[in-house]
């Protein structure tokens, strides 16, 4: 393949497997990564026996041996500036932009070109990514499949997606029509450094704390507010500079709220 990713591009791209359970699927995903030049793998809460079996398999690829094991999806994608969720739309209503797999290369190429990091997230074999998982994703990519069998095996899905990227990313910028169509689906603030997923989660935590301190909504709504806030911040496509400014603003608001006396004359 003539247009495999460069060394720098490979170092800025992570494949993330969320709670995989089948060691054969884990191995197949790692093999596909090695086939197409990808080497950074993160595994979120893997089923321990399967994970040990996959990593100890004879001839296990360096991809598995060097994989990063994470407790949460937020941790796995913290450094990414573009988080791509994968799945079918058959059983879900997406809350973010949906991109067809052939169009994904333009977005990835743009993000890598401006110094960003990309994470491509694959869900567990049984049900795919949950609604909560997808709230960490800027976009959802759909693999075109036949309606009679819309879901794919995990290892196959990883292979198909990585092949598309390895084959198309290098030449994505030359297809202006495809690039303009795809980039219009995802907001772009500026050419400045984009805030990482971890920074957005830090901001979301401070905003949520301010909301709770102000009595914004009942406790029963806190999980829903957290989910919506996570999605909102990703849709805004904040730069790192803007994220820092907004973070400072909400920290100041939170400080004032805590000092503001309540009705009994006591500080919060």
What are the extents of the domains in the chain? 7-183, 197-259
Angle at 35 between CA 34 and CA 37, to 5 degrees: 60
Instruction: Please state which CATH number belongs to domain 7-183.
Output: 3.40.1280.10
CB atoms near residue 251 (< 10 Å):
15
Closest CA to 230 of 222, 220, 240: 222
With a CB cutoff of 8 Å and minimum separation 6, the contacts of 16 are 41, 42, 43, 44, 73, 76, 77, 119, 120, 121, 122
Say what the pLDDT of residue 234 is. 93
Quick one: pLDDT band at residue 182, thresholds 50, 70, 90?
low
Which pLDDT tens digit goes with each residue over 211-227? Answer: 999 999 888 999 999 99
Distance of alpha carbon 61 from alpha carbon 73, whole angstroms: 23
Beta-carbon-side half-sphere exposure of residue 143 (alpha carbons within 13 Å): 22
Q: Which one is predicted more confidently, 190 or 196?
A: 196
CA dihedral over 127, 142, 3, 185, signed as positive or negative? negative
pTM, two decimal places: 0.86
Which pLDDT tens digit goes with each residue over 20-51? Answer: 989 999 999 999 999 898 999 999 999 888 88
Which pLDDT tens digit goes with each residue over 100-122? Answer: 998 999 999 999 988 999 999 99
> Among the listed ranges 87-96, 143-152, 170-179, 204-213, which one has the minimum average pLDDT value?
170-179
């Amino acid at each position: 393949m003539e247009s495999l990713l460069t060394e720098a591009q490979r170092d800025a791209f992570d494949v993330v497997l969320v709670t995989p359970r089948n060691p054969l699927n884990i191995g197949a995903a790692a093999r596909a990564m090695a086939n197409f030049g990808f080497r950074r793998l993160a595994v979120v809460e893997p089923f321990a026996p399967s994970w040990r079996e996959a990593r100890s398999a004879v001839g296990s690829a360096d991809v598995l041996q060097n994989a990063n094991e994470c407790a949460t999806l937020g941790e796995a994608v913290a450094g990414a500036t573009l988080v791509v969720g994968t799945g079918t739309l058959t059983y879900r209503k997406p809350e973010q932009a949906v991109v067809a797999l052939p169009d994904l290369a333009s977005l990835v190429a743009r993000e890598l070109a401006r110094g960003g990091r990309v994470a491509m997230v694959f869900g567990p074999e049984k049900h795919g990514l949950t609604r909560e998982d997808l709230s960490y994703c800027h976009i959802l990519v759909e693999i075109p499949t036949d309606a009679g069998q819309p879901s794919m095996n995990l290892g196959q899905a990883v292979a198909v997606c990585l092949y598309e990227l390895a084959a198309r990313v290098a030449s994505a910028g030359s297809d202006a029509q495809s690039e303009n169509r795809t980039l219009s689906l995802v907001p772009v603030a500026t050419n400045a450094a984009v805030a990482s997923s971890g920074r957005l989660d830090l901001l979301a935590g401070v905003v949520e704390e301010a909301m709770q301190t102000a009595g914004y909504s009942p406790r029963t709504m806190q999980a829903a507010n957290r989910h919506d806030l996570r999605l909102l911040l990703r849709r805004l496509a904040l730069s790192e500079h803007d994220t820092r400014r907004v973070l400072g603003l909400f920290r100041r608001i939170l400080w004032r709220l805590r000092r503001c006396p309540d009705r009994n004359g006591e500080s919060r």
